[in-house]
Amino acid sequence: MGSVTRKPLIAGNWKMNLDHLQAVAFVQKLHWTLKDAGHEHDTVEVAVFPPFTDIRTVQTLIDADKIPFALGGQDLSTKDSGAYTGEISGAFLKKLDAGYVIIGHSERREYHHESDADVAAKVQAALRHDLVPVICVGETLEQREESGPTAVSVEQLKVALEGVPADADVVVAYEPVWAIGTGQVASPEQAQEVCSALRAVVAASLGDEAAARTRILYGGSVKSGNIASFMREPDVDGALVGGASLIAEEFAAIVRYQKHVGV
């Protein structure tokens, strides 16, 4: 399960930031910053996860200007259509060329009381619509102190992968809750320890082949100054970036982590 060819993925979770007009300016700026720097998109994949109300606009821009960014939603409904006020179907995301959808972010688990079972149902909904679920797991500080660094994430991922076929394309994001938006970043060794345990869960649930090709991201206070140290770890295949994904130059520098000294 060592280093196979997993294309690194740098994903920007905008959360509830940037309206659709700001999104246009931001995506253009990010595109030109990367282009000017000579970024080769076949080396590192870039994905943006705007708010729902921006997605149509961002899709149009990406399409018109041939911008090689993947697009994703920040959540989706467990249902496909019907009387579910306020919900967004995976079918709608797919229609807008979204390739990915974030599922089970800790902010949704905390503020919207999403359970592991809800997360599992959303993973199934994503797969029904041919979207790659970015399954987020991670422990709070209290949970880490109580049950160690890996137990919570391992259990969350086990449930999320129940019923997922072995050939399904999924992405896993390890985001320790205590490192999100706090500036208190996990160490590369801490990230590696959990990401490696998560790869073992993928192996047990979906098989060795799936474990070898599934990308596992780290998220939590990722910046241009620390990304390279995470990417050196064998089981970290990219990053899910919050705050730093809203600043074009900073996010571009994260995408271009291979250019940083020592990598």
Structure tokens at 11: 């994903």
175 noted as active-site residue: yes
Beta-carbon count within 10 A of 241 CB:
27
8 binds ligand 13P (CB under 6 A): no
| 20-36 vs 52-64: helix crossing angle, rounded to 10 | 40
Closest separation in Å from C-beta 239 to ligand 13P: 8
Interacting residues with ligand 13P between 213 and 232 (CB under 6 A):
219-222
Closest separation in Å from C-beta 103 to ligand 13P: 11
CA pair distance 168, 199, nearest whole angstrom: 15
129 noted as active-site residue: no
Residue nearer to ligand 13P on the CB measure, 181 or 234: 181
- Which of 196, 192, 238, 244 is closest to 222 using CA atoms? 244
**Under a CB-based contact definition with an 8 Å cutoff, are residues 259 and 20 in contact?**
no
Q: Which residue is nearest to ligand 13P (CB)?
A: 242
13 binds ligand 13P (CB under 6 A): yes
Q: Is 99 annotated as a binding residue?
A: no
Closest separation in Å from C-beta 221 to ligand 13P: 4
Interacting residues with ligand 13P between 168 and 197 (CB under 6 A):
175, 180-181
Interface size with ligand 13P, residues (CB under 6 A): 14
Phi-psi region of 139 (alpha: psi -120 to 50; beta: other; left: phi over 0): beta
Spot the catalytic one: 45, 105, 114, 139: 105
CA pair distance 229, 233, nearest whole angstrom: 7
Structure tokens at 162: 């129940």
**Under a CB-based contact definition with an 8 Å cutoff, are residues 235 and 220 in contact?**
no
Residue nearer to ligand 13P on the CB measure, 33 or 106: 106
Answer for which of 137, 194, 240, 248 binds ligand 13P (CB under 6 A) is 240
72 binds ligand 13P (CB under 6 A): no
Which chain residues interact with ligand 13P by CB under 6 A?
13, 105, 175, 180-181, 219-222, 240-244
